[in-house]
Amino acid sequence: MSQLVIQVNKMKNPRTLRKGYGLPEYLAFCNIRSAMRPVIRAEGYVVALVRPPDANATAYFRAADAVLRRGDRWKSVGLVEFDPLKPKNSMTAIDEALQETKVIILFPSLAAIPDFVRVAADLIVELQAPSLRQIKGVFRWWHRSRLSDEQAERLLALDTDLQRAVARPGRSVGRMLAHLVMRAKETAARPLPESANTEIALRLETMSGYGAARDWGVDLARDITDWKAGLIPWSDVDGGLLLSGPPGVGKTIFAEALANTCGVELVTASAARWQSRGHLGDMQRAMFRSFEDARAAAPAILFIDEIDSFTDRDREESRNASYVRQVINAFLECLDGTVDREGVVVVGACNNPAVIDGAILRPGRLDQHVRLGYPDAEARKGILRMHLRGDLADDDLSRFAEESVGMSGADIAQVVRLARRVARRHRRAIVIDDVLGSLPGRVSLSLEVRRKVAIHELGHAVIAVSTGTGKLWGVSIESRISNDVDRQILGGAVLTPDDWQARDRQSYLDNICILLGGIAAEQVLLGQHSDGASSDLDHATRLAVVIDRHLGMNGLLHSWPAGLDEQRIDEARRYDAALMVRVEKILVEQLDRARNIIQSRRWQIERLLLELVDRGSLSGAEIEETLWVEDKIPLPATPKTRRKIRNR
């Protein structure tokens, strides 16, 4: 049977359910029966159902059970409620249920459905909230009474407890609803907290998590003030910035805050919006119009999203090469040249800056580049306070910082929206438990997993100390992860490079050795490495390509004229077989070197491992003390490291 993914909001008259079932169960029963119409008469099926937002899980579970056991004709049935807080138990229950003839699995969201369920399911349905038609149909069948649209809307707005209280057999629904309306008016007279009705005043000075981008924006605000006062010419003002980073880190919010901080207008545009206008001429006209709007509002910030759509003209070899070239030429004309943009600061945003045409990033255009990452613990607390708008000012947010690892600014804003919704339902001010309760489900990592992560991160740290490369600040591992957050940071070793110095071939090899240190530690202490080392291996491979094809440090002196970027490196890895043979030799040599170092320090690593798993973090000083002071035996070292040892 082919798999279907549909949305359902149609009516299906319910049959008799069970004694004690109330309106929430009847509505859920209608919803599920209507959704399962494509398979309901099949001899067997597996159906994955996503409950409507904010639906009562118990009501839907009881209704699904009634659907499966209708008439008790089917004994071989399986019903599972996926619990994001206990994914292992849920997976086991699903495995057992899939052995039955008819199976329904309930999920809180589409994202929670694991891949093996998607493969096994005959039907995946994202249920919608019960409709007016459904609740009116239930009352005609169950109460033998008719509801007006207004009454139906009021009933649907109630929570499940109130629905049960109102919709009881033998009760006048009209009288009960009238009573609820009077209570609602009394409750409405109690005002919500003032902060619930105020918007966030986005300003860079009060925002967290932007680092160098915030510093640039604050300096820009001062320069624009001086330019308005006639103290400096516009040529002294930074006219362009490129913001890059993964989705959700706050690139769009940054532009709004920047405009507020600078006291100027914000004009928004995007490459996709320009392209949607039609053919080449239409797109160029839309592009010119955005710049004209910004000039008319000058001083202004022109924010252009998806700027990585302007790919490198020299690499475009498709039938669209001419189109791409003309579009980029027009964009460059807008940035400078014949078009005057005095008073207009252009901020471009993208996910992948490596593919942008180099001419766009040259001085005088978008020459400043800041990459935004996911916020750290302090930044997450700052972002939360910003979205709380003064609420919970005296509360300790440390637990939130611990539970929100891997979340972006957009994720945190969503958490606050959910928490405020909970507070509104209870007609009270928001409390910290509302925020914590709105976080994605967190799962404790097993001791085995934490031990593997600790071994991997200690491998990086030990190689860094042993080679004398950079400054080791510390190592940490996480004890819990979020079920609903894709970006999981299980641990990390914090390293910073040495003060500026010319880097020779050995320094690049040392960095490759550090990157492979996690793999080496897993292989030495566990016998094999895991898939969590893929990003380290990818980074090490790229560095080896740079050594060979760009720096002339691997026996070949000719170099690519435009240097190296991610796209060019990827092309070389795919098509240059001879290069990859040389790269493989570098990687093998450095992995062997890392394994030898790890093996020579094995007993110190095992001691550090116990501490790291127990405490969750170790400082760089603690690691160095264990490796150097207690063992007194010098490690295999480069001349630079031996100089450091003598200096100690």
Q: Which residues are catalytic?
A: 457
Phi, psi of 174 (to 5 degrees): -60, -40
End-to-end Cα distance, the chain: 72
> Tokens 């740290």, residue?
461
Q: Are 601 and 463 in contact (CB under 8 A)?
A: no
475-499 exposure pattern, b = at least 16 Cβ within 10 A, e = fewer: bbbbbebbbebeeeebbbbbbeeee
520-533 exposure pattern, b = at least 16 Cβ within 10 A, e = fewer: bbbbbbeeebeebb
Q: Are 103 and 47 in contact (CB under 8 A)?
A: yes
Q: Find residue 311's DSSP bridge partners.
A: 356
Q: Find residue 371's DSSP bridge partners.
A: 244
* Total length of the chain: 648
CA 212 vs. chain centroid, Å, equals 21
Question: What does 246-310 look like in DSSP terms, one character per residue?
Answer: STTSSHHHHHHHHHHHHT-EEEEEEHHHHHTT-SHHHHHHHHHHHHHHHHHT-SEEEEEE-GGGS
Q: Are 341 and 287 in contact (CB under 8 A)?
A: no
Using alpha carbons, select from 325, 57, 554 the residue that is nearest to residue 49: 57
